[in-house]
Chain A
Amino acid sequence: MKIKLTVNGLLYERDCAEHTTLLRFIREDLGLTGTKEGCGMGECGACTVILNGHAVNSCMVLAAEVDGAVISTIEGEARGPSLSDIQKSFEKHHAVQCGFCTPGMVMSVKELLVDNKKPSVAEVKEAIEGNFCRCTGYTQIVEAVMDLTGRPDGKGELEHV
């Protein structure tokens, strides 16, 4: 079947099988391999993309279900050599080690920051509860977000969580 998707601002139209997942469509039909497959069953969040404004596990969505949707992936973050603010903060705080979870982490954080410009530590943790990191640890990731957005009250030292 024909699928039309807007990914990172560009409209793509491809023929794909009806049983293709959104993850496979993005990676193999569009060649956007920044989005990763970890567990394939909604536990790890490595495949997180933003679908019509909401972070979802793309391994559990069929491309056919989201024909016409607007999607953001990690490839939409940097502009040429210039990283996005979230990416810069991840880099500054060493919130990346092997990098496998990072595309999903960044997408979950991006969704959070759309409606919540100054999240609390608890809100950041909740936003990334569906994203597993097995090497850097969550501390640096939470710190990267807190540094980017500032303390909720706008003052004081960044709390080591």
Chain B
Amino acid sequence: MVYEFRYLAPKTASELAAILEGHKTDGKILAGGTDLIPNIRNGLMKPQVVIDIKKYEGADLLTFGAEGLSMGPAVTINDLLRSKDARERYPVLCECAHELASHQIRNRATVSGNVVNASPCSDMAPALLCLGAQAVIRSATGERIVPFTNFFAGVKKTVLVPGEFLERILVPAASAGAIGSYKKLKRIAGHDLGIVGVLMTRHEGRLRFAVSSAAPTPVLIDTVGQNDSPDEAASKVLAAVSPISDVRGTKEYRVHMIGVYVRRLLAEVK
């Protein structure tokens, strides 16, 4: 790349927090790099300092404990998919992960990066929303926990403020075993950004839907009841989203396909 920047790789989480505190305006966190590096190359971002979040001790931990599944910021999409426990306990999370980009990108892109990037078409966000996951956010001054329902603030915006980083994603133990399916509409069979994506989960009698690429942020809909008709379910989901027309599809197409997917998922996810 022609554009020049400094590269820092802190070795502990507190060192990372201190560096971020000192580079609130000119620093950018590097995780998988699959968005950041093309953005720098294309001149869309011009950080003076690139701070690698993958090198501190514990950043790559994917663990199961009493609280559930915990993923550090260096856990890649394929690290998640290679975990037998993750595939057995959180099949929905793994199905969404499998839909993300191409194999090479899944080897590099991180789960945390996918949500911090906060694209409306995030594939991990629907699963984390439906499973009730939480973001553990850390900075030099402390730690706070934000549920993913409050994490996204707009297109490419999250509640993270400069100086903060996503230290862990927690997927609660109570969500283990949730079944579901993710329908992602794409222009081609191979890797592509979604035109729309609809995830439905069914767990302990509760239905949840999450929709990507249909609003400024990924959207959770947990108001659909067990006894709602497919038409009622589709209208509840559609009432929560606000799709637009863009290069990948029109508003009308998106609205239509969300309805199709909601009805199809209700029949399929038993």
Contact = CB atoms under 8 A, between A and B. Distances in A.
Contact of A60 (B4, B52, B108): B108
Contacts of B66: none
Interface string B169-203: 00000000000000000000011000000000000
Contacts of A134: none
A45 B42 CA distance: 18
Contacts of A48: 104
Interface residues of B, number: 28
Nearest to A127: B103
Contacts of B37: 21, 59-62
A64 interface: yes
A149 interface: no
B102 interface: yes
A24 B3 CA distance: 13
A126 interface: yes
B33 interface: yes
Contacts, number: 84
A56 B6 CA distance: 23
Interface residues of A, number: 28
Interface in A4-34: 17-21, 24
A60 B191 CA distance: 17
A48 B1 CA distance: 17
List 9 A-B pairs, minimum CB-CB distance, nearest first: A130-B102, A41-B38, A18-B7, A54-B107, A129-B190, A130-B104, A60-B37, A64-B7, A57-B104
24 contacts: A20-B1, A21-B1, A41-B41, A42-B34, A42-B102, A42-B105, A45-B102, A54-B107, A54-B108, A57-B34, A60-B33, A60-B34, A60-B38, A61-B33, A62-B50, A64-B7, A64-B52, A65-B30, A65-B54, A129-B103, A129-B190, A129-B191, A130-B101, A130-B190
Interface of A: 1, 17-21, 24, 40-42, 45, 48, 51, 54-57, 59-62, 64-65, 108, 126-127, 129-130
Interface of B: 1, 3-7, 9, 30, 32-34, 37-38, 41-42, 50, 52, 54, 78, 101-105, 107-108, 190-191
